[in-house]
């Protein structure tokens, strides 16, 4: 039984340490953060039981060329229990970089408002993730096949799927479609409204860092927010994490120190050399980042089972004065890390390395980060609690070239999606949590009357998309109510323009005249 428990525990920890072996040599700050935090989005716990149909749609592998005419099966999920016909609204989730069932099972906000709106729910899987593999098991075999993994192709997939659904589903021809997504999915939700306003009437982009690109926001803001979360959660918490890096260097300078660190942190594989220490520090850094993303007010399972307000629990182990010894400090750090990796007490050891994984999601996002999703991040060790690391695009590009044989296009997102010049668009809600480091690249102020920002001061990563909880802060309750109000306004505007069916207050179908 102990061996089984250990295996399950290592699997969970391994998920949190995705591609750590790669980080030993491929340790650009930006790419590390994206790989870790993006994977973190995929580990929710399902709340109420839900029912949906799993369907597949033939998509073109290449929407923008005419030589590659092959197709692949795109998976999408449909729930029609609450759909009012004719012409009831469709809430369309723009799938992230992972298995779509994870998002369907856990984007509770959509399930909760479906009945109020009489809406059909559709969750569309992003190409190259989950079961939507353009070249099957060979989709990641070489650069030629990976070449079709772009956000533009994914948006075209979504647009084509929506158009097909509206033309083939009975009495859906005039159904208004609202796109919804969180994080990268939130970026796609905003972008599909921008690129295909004829397809979706509005979008909710939750925790969507559409400005986390070169020249749009300072590269250090992401880690400043992580640091602020820890600074306000406990006495000297951020200061002691900042001090811990030097303490690790000091203690790990001897063989006996490496052994002590390994035992103190209950590592499954002992630290043996400087390279192991680099990986160990990267593991700790991303632990703090992940905690900032999942700092929810209630118990939740993200990458790991965690207590309410987990950073506050972490910081109780780091409330030291500056006079403590390196070993005393690192004992506190080890206890803090175990809040994240071993809150349940069931893990006999912590694994800081990751061997090959069967999931394609992490490698897919790594490829996207090396092509068009170039998100600069940096640290200075002064305004944040991490070791200084500058953003160097050339080094980043060289690493991408070494891994994939490609070079990133630093300014492409600005060119194709408009950067900060998006005022000509309409009907997009940008929601961001004050605790979420990804808000650094998000839209946090109103741009126009219909490009609006909703701020959730006590919110971590797309808290508004999660299931309602009795411990939710008032700010997220208010955010969800306002989001629903915008949805209802957009739907009424569409119905007035088309003369399509509408839903009265008592949920009866009525007809609206042109």
DSSP SS3 for 24? coil
Is 75 within 8 Å of 131 (Cβ atoms)?
A: yes
HSE-CB of 100 using CA atoms within 13 angstroms: 27
Picking from 148, 137, 130, 128, the residue whose alpha carbon sits closest to that of residue 69 is 148
Comparing CA positions, the residue from 350, 232, 337 lying closest to residue 287 is: 337
Point out the catalytic residue in the list 84, 126, 461, 462.
461
Pairing state of beta strands 300-301 and 305-306?
Answer: antiparallel
Q: Is 494 a catalytic residue?
A: no
CB-based burial label for 410 (10 Å; 0-12, 13-18, 19+)? middle
Q: CB-based burial of residue 167 (10 Å sphere; 0-12 exposed, 13-18 middle, 19+ buried)?
A: exposed
- CB neighbour list of residue 372: distance below 8 Å, 6 or more residues apart: 150, 151, 408, 409, 412, 413, 416
Q: Confirm whether 183 is a catalytic residue.
A: yes
Helices (H), 383-425: 393-404, 412-417
DSSP 3-state of 260: helix
Whole-angstrom CA distances from 141 to 144, 154, 200, 270, 362 are 9, 20, 34, 33, 15
Residue (of 178, 35, 157) closest to 98 by Cα position: 35
DSSP secondary structure of 436-470: -GGGGGS--S-SSSSEEEEEETT--TTGGGSPP-T
Catalytic residue among 183, 262, 334, 397: 183
**Contact (CB, 8 A) for 432 and 453:** yes
Catalytic residue among 99, 295, 436, 464: 436
**Annotation says 157 is catalytic:** no
**Which positions are annotated as active-site residues?**
183, 436, 461
């Amino acid at each position: 039984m102990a061996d089984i428990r250990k295996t399950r525990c290592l699997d969970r920890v391994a998920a949190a340490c995705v591609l750590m072996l790669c980080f030993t040599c491929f340790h650009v700050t930006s790419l590390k953060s994206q790989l870790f935090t993006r994977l973190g989005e995929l580990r929710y716990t399902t709340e109420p039981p839900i029912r949906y149909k799993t369907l597949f749609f033939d998509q073109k592998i290449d929407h923008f060329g005419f030589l590659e005419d092959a197709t692949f099966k795109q998976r999408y999920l449909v729930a029609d229990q609450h759909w009012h016909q004719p012409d009831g609204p469709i809430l369309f989730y723009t799938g992230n970089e992972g298995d779509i069932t994870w998002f369907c099972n856990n984007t509770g906000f959509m399930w909760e408002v479906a009945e109020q709106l009489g809406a059909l729910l559709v969750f569309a899987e992003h190409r190259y993730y989950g079961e939507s593999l353009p070249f099957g098991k060979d989709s990641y075999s070489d650069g030629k096949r990976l070449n079709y993994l772009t956000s533009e192709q994914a948006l075209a997939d979504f647009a084509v799927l929506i158009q097909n659904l509206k033309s083939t589903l009975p009495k859906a021809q005039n159904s208004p479609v609202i796109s919804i997504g969180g994080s990268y999915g939130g970026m796609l939700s905003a972008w599909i409204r921008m690129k295909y306003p004829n397809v979706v009437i509005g979008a909710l982009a939750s925790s969507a860092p559409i400005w986390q690109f070169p020249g749009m926001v300072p590269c250090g803001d992401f880690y400043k927010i992580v640091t602020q979360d820890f600074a306000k959660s406990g006495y000297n918490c951020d200061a002691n994490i900042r001090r811990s890096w030097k303490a690790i260097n000091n203690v790990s300078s001897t063989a006996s120190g490496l052994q002590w660190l390994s035992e103190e942190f209950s590592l499954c594989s002992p630290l043996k050399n400087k390279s192991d220490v680099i990986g160990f520090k990267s593991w700790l850094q991303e632990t703090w980042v992940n905690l900032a993303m999942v700092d929810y007010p209630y118990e939740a399972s993200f990458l790991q089972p965690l207590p309410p307000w987990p950073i506050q629990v972490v910081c109780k182990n780091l409330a030291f004065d500056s006079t403590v010894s390196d070993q005393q400090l690192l004992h506190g750090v080890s206890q803090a890390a175990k809040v994240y990796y071993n809150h349940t007490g069931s893990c006999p050891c912590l694994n800081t390395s990751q061997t090959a994984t069967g999931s394609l999601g992490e490698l897919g996002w790594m490829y996207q980060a090396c092509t068009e999703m170039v998100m600069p991040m940096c640290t200075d060790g002064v305004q944040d609690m991490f070791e200084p690391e500058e953003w160097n695009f050339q080094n980043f590009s060289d690493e991408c070239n070494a891994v994939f044989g490609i070079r990133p296009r630093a300014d492409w997102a600005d060119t194709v999606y408009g950067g900060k010049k998006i005022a000509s668009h309409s009907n997009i809600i940008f929601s961001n949590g004050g605790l979420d480091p990804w808000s650094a690249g998000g839209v946090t102020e109103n741009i126009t009357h219909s490009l609006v920002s909703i701020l959730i001061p006590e919110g971590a990563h797309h808290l508004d998309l999660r299931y309602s909880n009795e411990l939710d802060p008032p700010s997220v309750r208010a955010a969800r109510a306002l989001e629903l109000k915008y949805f209802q306004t957009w739907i009424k505007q569409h119905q007035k323009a088309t003369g399509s069916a509408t839903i009265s207050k008592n949920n009866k179908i009525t007809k609206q005249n042109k």
